Amino acid sequence: MQHKRRGRKFGRTRDQRKAFIKSLISALVLKKRIQTTEARAKEIRPKVERLVTKAKAVSRGETKRALHNRREIMASTSPKIAKILIDDIAPKYHDRHGGYTRIMKTGVRRSDGARLAIIEFV
Protein backbone atom coordinates (compact mmCIF):
# COMPACT_ATOMS: atom_id res chain seq x y z
CA MET A 1 0.00 0.00 0.00
CA GLN A 2 1.15 3.50 -0.79
CA HIS A 3 -0.36 5.30 2.19
CA LYS A 4 1.59 8.41 3.24
CA ARG A 5 4.23 7.88 0.56
CA ARG A 6 5.11 10.96 -1.43
CA GLY A 7 6.91 11.31 -4.72
CA ARG A 8 7.62 9.06 -7.62
CA LYS A 9 10.82 7.07 -8.01
CA PHE A 10 11.05 6.95 -11.81
CA GLY A 11 13.20 3.81 -11.54
CA ARG A 12 16.20 5.77 -10.33
CA THR A 13 18.34 6.01 -7.24
CA ARG A 14 17.95 9.03 -4.97
CA ASP A 15 20.87 11.01 -6.44
CA GLN A 16 19.84 10.28 -10.01
CA ARG A 17 16.25 11.23 -9.24
CA LYS A 18 17.23 14.56 -7.67
CA ALA A 19 19.43 15.42 -10.68
CA PHE A 20 16.67 14.34 -13.06
CA ILE A 21 14.05 16.54 -11.39
CA LYS A 22 16.49 19.44 -11.24
CA SER A 23 17.09 19.12 -14.99
CA LEU A 24 13.35 19.03 -15.70
CA ILE A 25 12.86 22.19 -13.63
CA SER A 26 15.75 23.89 -15.42
CA ALA A 27 14.32 22.98 -18.82
CA LEU A 28 10.91 24.35 -17.85
CA VAL A 29 12.35 27.63 -16.58
CA LEU A 30 14.55 28.10 -19.65
CA LYS A 31 11.99 27.14 -22.30
CA LYS A 32 8.80 28.18 -20.42
CA ARG A 33 7.08 25.07 -21.82
CA ILE A 34 8.13 21.43 -22.11
CA GLN A 35 6.52 18.22 -23.28
CA THR A 36 7.09 15.27 -20.98
CA THR A 37 5.16 12.43 -19.43
CA GLU A 38 2.20 13.16 -17.21
CA ALA A 39 3.88 11.66 -14.14
CA ARG A 40 6.99 13.81 -14.58
CA ALA A 41 4.89 16.95 -15.07
CA LYS A 42 2.86 16.22 -11.95
CA GLU A 43 6.04 15.61 -9.98
CA ILE A 44 7.79 18.87 -10.88
CA ARG A 45 4.73 21.11 -10.68
CA PRO A 46 4.73 21.69 -6.86
CA LYS A 47 8.49 22.18 -6.85
CA VAL A 48 8.31 24.85 -9.55
CA GLU A 49 5.39 26.56 -7.81
CA ARG A 50 7.39 26.76 -4.57
CA LEU A 51 10.40 28.18 -6.38
CA VAL A 52 8.31 30.87 -8.08
CA THR A 53 6.73 31.84 -4.76
CA LYS A 54 10.17 32.22 -3.19
CA ALA A 55 11.41 34.16 -6.22
CA LYS A 56 8.42 36.51 -5.86
CA ALA A 57 9.42 37.26 -2.27
CA VAL A 58 12.97 38.00 -3.39
CA SER A 59 11.94 40.22 -6.31
CA ARG A 60 9.46 42.15 -4.15
CA GLY A 61 12.31 42.90 -1.78
CA GLU A 62 10.90 41.40 1.39
CA THR A 63 14.05 42.06 3.36
CA LYS A 64 13.32 39.75 6.24
CA ARG A 65 13.44 36.51 4.22
CA ALA A 66 14.84 37.67 0.87
CA LEU A 67 18.37 36.38 1.40
CA HIS A 68 17.11 33.10 2.81
CA ASN A 69 14.77 32.57 -0.14
CA ARG A 70 17.50 33.49 -2.63
CA ARG A 71 19.83 30.92 -1.08
CA GLU A 72 17.12 28.25 -1.14
CA ILE A 73 16.48 28.90 -4.83
CA MET A 74 20.23 28.74 -5.55
CA ALA A 75 20.52 25.47 -3.63
CA SER A 76 17.81 23.74 -5.65
CA THR A 77 18.74 25.17 -9.07
CA SER A 78 21.76 26.64 -10.83
CA PRO A 79 22.65 30.34 -10.51
CA LYS A 80 21.54 30.94 -14.11
CA ILE A 81 18.10 29.42 -13.48
CA ALA A 82 17.76 31.32 -10.19
CA LYS A 83 18.47 34.60 -11.97
CA ILE A 84 15.83 33.87 -14.62
CA LEU A 85 13.31 32.94 -11.91
CA ILE A 86 13.91 36.08 -9.87
CA ASP A 87 14.34 38.62 -12.69
CA ASP A 88 12.00 37.38 -15.43
CA ILE A 89 9.37 34.94 -14.16
CA ALA A 90 8.55 36.18 -10.64
CA PRO A 91 7.64 39.78 -11.61
CA LYS A 92 5.02 38.46 -14.05
CA TYR A 93 3.14 36.80 -11.20
CA HIS A 94 3.40 39.51 -8.53
CA ASP A 95 -0.41 39.75 -8.20
CA ARG A 96 -1.14 36.03 -8.55
CA HIS A 97 -1.49 33.75 -5.52
CA GLY A 98 -0.26 30.41 -6.79
CA GLY A 99 -1.20 28.43 -9.87
CA TYR A 100 1.75 29.54 -11.97
CA THR A 101 1.89 26.40 -14.11
CA ARG A 102 -0.57 24.48 -16.26
CA ILE A 103 -0.52 20.83 -17.26
CA MET A 104 -2.27 19.92 -20.51
CA LYS A 105 -2.63 16.25 -21.36
CA THR A 106 -1.76 15.56 -24.98
CA GLY A 107 -2.21 11.83 -25.57
CA VAL A 108 -0.03 8.74 -25.46
CA ARG A 109 3.41 7.97 -26.79
CA ARG A 110 3.28 5.36 -29.54
CA SER A 111 6.44 3.52 -28.54
CA ASP A 112 5.58 2.64 -24.95
CA GLY A 113 2.07 3.97 -24.35
CA ALA A 114 3.16 6.54 -21.78
CA ARG A 115 0.69 9.38 -21.23
CA LEU A 116 2.18 12.66 -22.44
CA ALA A 117 1.55 16.16 -21.15
CA ILE A 118 2.74 19.69 -21.71
CA ILE A 119 3.67 21.70 -18.65
CA GLU A 120 3.98 25.46 -19.08
CA PHE A 121 3.84 28.71 -17.21
CA VAL A 122 0.42 30.37 -17.29
CATH number at residue 56: 3.90.1030.10
In a domain, 111, yes or no: yes
- pLDDT, position 94: 92
Who has greater pLDDT, 63 or 12? Answer: 12
Total count of domains within the chain = 1
Is 19 within the bounds of a domain? no
In 8-121, where do the E strands start and end?
Answer: 33-37, 101-108, 115-121
State the residue range of the domain holding 38. Answer: 34-121
Q: Confirm whether 11 is domain-assigned.
A: no
pTM: 0.92
Q: Taking all residues of the chain, what is their mean pLDDT, rounded to a whole number?
A: 95
Query: Is pLDDT above 90 for 61?
Result: no
Contact call for residues 49 and 101 (beta carbons, < 8 A): yes
pLDDT of residue 62: 75
